[in-house]
Amino acid sequence: MTFMQGVVQLEYLLWKYEQLKRWCNTPPTGPLVSEFGGQIYRFSTRSHPVFTAVFNAFYPDGRGVGRKGANRKITDTMVEWIDDLALAVWFMDDGSQQRGQTRFSTIVLGEDQTAVLAGVLCSRGIEASAVMDVKGWGIRLKSAGTDALFQRIEPHIHPALRYKLERTGHRTGAPDVCPVLRAPMRTCVICGAEFSALKSATTCGSEKCRKRLNANLVAAQKRRKPPVMETVSGACVVCNQDFKRQRKASREAPPLTCSRSCQAKLGHKQR
């Protein structure tokens, strides 16, 4: 999972990293040029069952193909996760104030799931409705709904995003000089050069070093001694047939069965 923010929200991104760093291999890096030409910072998590659970809750029928949001669903599990902190993060990421109205962008969800989310907000005492405008589907809050939302989320809003609570919703300008965040450096096990930890785990990434590392691994594999084999024999305790079998030499007791099927039958009997 990858998180990205602009330079104005860098402190907010660092806060997110502090919450998730137990599942990250490297800290945030940047500035990088986004697809829209702006400067961004980002960090990524590693694969972990906690994110698999989030994915399964968001895509109960699998990711699928087709239009955006076709398989995304707001399940009961996700609704249980939406507490005041989750509302605050959602607002800081996708919320805005335009012409005195508070709006959540839900373009990727489509009409049905946007209506579900609007219903969830209403059930929390936040008056909201699903609306369609030139940007796509979203959730619009009435004045009373905005007051109820801000009362819930204000204690959790990061200082860098507090401008979103103002009725104008305008942010301060970007700093003249963007701070540089670099990934930790590692030493290549082949040439000894330093390289970014984002590239690889062992080599600097050059073709020469990759080939040398692969050659070393192949040579090490060839130097390994083949295992010593032994022949064991006996009578199967399940079907009473005599058998002979080869296995790696060990001090373990000889097998009691002649095949995997007999082994499964024996295990079933023992249970």
- Domains of the chain, CATH where assigned: 1-46 (no CATH), 65-165 (3.10.28.10), 185-223 (no CATH), 229-270 (no CATH)
Residue-wise pLDDT tens digits, 77-118: 888 998 999 999 999 999 888 777 889 988 888 888 899 999
Q: What is the mean pLDDT of residues 148-171?
A: 82
- The per-residue pLDDT for range 213-260, each reduced to its tens digit, is 888 877 877 777 777 777 878 888 888 888 887 777 766 666 677 887
Q: Are 221 and 200 in contact (CB under 8 A)?
A: no
Distance of CA 125 to the CA centre of its chain: 31
Dump pLDDT digits (tens) for 178-209: 566 666 677 777 787 776 665 556 777 778 88
Output the pLDDT for position 85. Answer: 93
CA dihedral 102, 14, 3, 200 (to 10 degrees): 170
Predicted confidence at residue 98, as pLDDT, reads 76
CA distance 90 to 81: 12
pLDDT band at 153 (very low <50, low <70, confident <90, very high): very high
Determine which helix (DSSP H) or strand (DSSP E) holds 269, and give its type and residue range.
helix 260-270
d(CA 259, CA 241): 10
What residues have CB less than 8 Å from 18, skipping those under 6 apart?
none
Average pLDDT over residues 51-77: 75
End-to-end CA distance of the chain: 43
Instruction: Could you list the beta-strand ranges (E) of the chain.
Output: 2-6, 29-33, 39-44, 95-98, 101-105, 128-133, 136-141, 185-187, 194-196, 229-235, 242-248
Higher-confidence residue of 217 and 121: namely 121
Distance CA 109, CA 81 (A): 18
pLDDT given at position 199: 53
Beta pairing class for 128-133 and 136-141: antiparallel
Residue with tokens 């923010």: 5
Band (66; pLDDT cuts 50, 70, 90): very low
- Output b/e per residue, 71-109; b: 16+ Cβ within 10 A: ebbbeeebeeeeeeeebbbebbeebebeeeebbbbbeeb
- Residue 70 has a pLDDT of 59
Rounded CA-CA distance 86/97 in Å is 19
CA distance 56 to 50: 10
- 177 has a pLDDT exceeding 90: no
Closest CA to 39 of 5, 79, 3: 5
Whole-angstrom distance, CA of residue 215 vs CA of residue 127:
65
Amino acid at 45: T
Helix or strand run (H / E) with residue 208: helix 207-223
